Amino acid sequence: MAERSGAIRPSTTPAPALLALALVLGALGLGFLPVLWLGIGGGVSAFDPYLGRVLRFTLLQAGLSTLMSISLGLLLARALARQQFPGRTILVRLLNLPLALPAIVVIIGIIDVYGNRGWLGGLFDIYGLQGILLAHVFFNVPLAARLLLSELERVPEESWKLAAQLQFRARDIWRIVEWPQLRAAIPGAALLIFLLCASSFAIVLTLGGGPRATTLEVAIYQALRADFDPPRAAALALVQLALCASLVAIAQRFGGLMQGWPSLQRPPQRFDGYSTGARISDGAVIAAGLGLLMPPLLTLAISGAMNIAPTPDLGRAIFTSLLLGTASAALAFVFVWPLAAAAARLPRWRTVSRLAVLSAWIIPPAVLATGWFISLSRVAGLSGLAPFLVIGMNGLMAMPFAYQILAPALFEAAGRHDRLCASLGIVGWSRLRHIDIPALRRSIGLALVMSLILSLGDLTAIALFGSQDLVTLPALIYRQMGSYRFDAAIGTALLLSVMVFALSVLAERWSARA
């Protein structure tokens, strides 16, 4: 019996997890340590009015974007929670679309609507703080609405029935039913949105309009690519790292930042949305939400369809994007799988694995790229390493999302199969081939597709490490905009959005089946 119980005990030395942890920490250390060393050495010259101005603008635009996104997202979530109407499921699914679209695609749509030659051109200057806020609100209002709507749909149906029996008014429902449910979710959602806006790169780079609208991420990019001033870039990267690490640490106290793929569960039946006033007010909020989301998407579809022109550059960019994106997704999976498997089977690995994965958010892409640039700047063949650097950065950035998908599935599989596999002596590659992969193929597919989506739309890594010979679709769009070929840019943006949307539909179907 002692031998049998000993056989069931899981391995205490998960070599694959140790190797994955060492590689992840090595890659992060290669990015962080040079920044720390050079940033401290150049810190005195970096703490000047320019740094203060950049930091103030970073916090200002992130704070305003977060306030607007949470406020509007809360109104939209409450309206969708109270009303049932034909097409509601489609509208809720539409809230997921901006999360999957690359930033550069949305920027193209916003410029085509609100720019000088757009449908609503002349309302305000699209370049500067106004344009940055508009783009962030476009992305983050649906995110906030989706997160808060999920919380409202977790309220038991019995609570709504009791509220109807007691004839609660709208303010009573908010105070007694809705606010207690949302109170714990709003801080985490706000911190997530603030972190996304504070580390925004493509939006600020494209819509900033000049040095007055520069964030830390863009300042790091300018210090490396325009000024070639690694000490200043390192000092700025340290400030960015401290800001993001503080936000992630605060967010963990409110339940964390990591969210699963949104579900489309059946909402509970509510009884407070039947009055004429509620229908009018909720209808106005939903119409305003559609007014925010639809114009950029419609102009992208209409204008883009008329301007798709096959060219050799476009073909190469598609091939490069798919090649680098697939490699990045595979790398994220190779890192995440052993860490998630160790966390599922060994309790002491759960914190280690989670921290290793979250470190990809704690150390922003610009900081990581700065460190790698400094470490490898003396390598003669640095341009030849560019594809591998892009793959490495995108793979690390996709790790938190892949982990969030794979970890729960592996936890469930461990509880279901571990004891039987141990008693039968099924271990290692044999277990992986015959047990784990067949049982988890849908979760594996979902994690790979989501990682591919994130990599396809990334501009940060390719902007820092790309060259004339290494161009992805987001980089091609940015170049077309820079050379004033806006029609070609919107056609390329539509092509990229169709690719991403098709993968998103595939991911959603995989998620529902998994």
83: pLDDT strictly greater than 70:
yes
Check whether residue 277 and residue 413 sit in a common domain: no
With cut-offs at 50, 70 and 90, classify the pLDDT of residue 335: very high
Residue 491 belongs to domain with CATH number: 1.10.3720.10
Evaluate the CA torsion angle 217, 223, 229, 232 in order and state its sign: negative
Mean pLDDT lowest among 183-187, 218-222, 429-433: 429-433
Q: Picking from 74-78, 112-116, 323-327, which range would have the lowest pLDDT averaged per residue?
A: 112-116
Domain identity same for 231 and 270: yes
CB atoms within 10 A of CB 46: 20
Per residue in 357-366, pLDDT tens? 877 777 778 7
Q: Are residues 318 and 272 in the same domain?
A: no
d(CA 288, CA 54) in angstroms, rounded, equals 33
Is 352 domain-assigned?
Answer: yes
- What is the number of structural domains in the chain? 2
pLDDT digits (tens, 9 = 90+) for 429-440: 677 666 777 777
**Residue 3: band (very low, low, confident or very high) from pLDDT cuts 50, 70, 90:** very low
Q: How much is the pTM?
A: 0.77
Q: What is the pLDDT of residue 4?
A: 41
Question: Tell me: the pLDDT tens digits for 130-179?
Answer: 999 999 999 999 989 988 887 887 777 777 777 777 777 778 888 888 88
Report the mean per-residue pLDDT for the chain: 80
* Higher pLDDT among residues 424 and 293, named by residue: 293
- pLDDT on residue 45: 53
Same-domain pairing of 440 and 416: yes
CA distance 463 to 474: 9
Residue 293: helix, strand or coil by DSSP?
A: helix
State what percent of residues in the chain have pLDDT above 90. Answer: 17
Average pLDDT over residues 73-82: 91
Cα–Cα distances in angstroms (integers) from residue 119 to residues 110, 111, 113, 298, 485, in the given order: 10, 10, 5, 11, 18
Same domain, 265 and 343: no
pLDDT band (50, 70, 90) for residue 22 = very high
Domain extent for 492: 12-32+307-514
Residue 244 counted as domain residue: yes
C-alpha angle 276/280/284, rounded to 5°? 170
> In the numeric block, which tokens belong to residue 175?
């105070």
pLDDT at residue 2, rounded to an integer: 43
Q: So what's the pLDDT on residue 382?
A: 64
Residues 312 and 295 occupy one common structural domain: no
114 and 138 share one domain: yes
Give 467's strand partners: 470
CA angle 188, 268, 184 (to 5 degrees): 15
Residue 323 has a pLDDT of: 94
What is the per-residue pLDDT for 384?
76
| % helix, strand, coil for the chain, step of 5 | 80, 0, 20
Task: Give the per-residue pLDDT at 478.
Answer: 84
Phi-psi region of 262 (alpha: psi -120 to 50; beta: other; left: phi over 0): beta
Q: Are residues 100 and 199 in the same domain?
A: yes
Q: Does one domain contain both 314 and 263?
A: no
Confidence class of residue 115 from pLDDT cuts 50, 70 and 90? Answer: confident
Angle at 478 between CA 31 and CA 139, to 5 degrees: 80
Condensed to tens digits (0 to 9), the pLDDT of residues 35-44 reads 777 766 655 4
pLDDT value of residue 162: 77
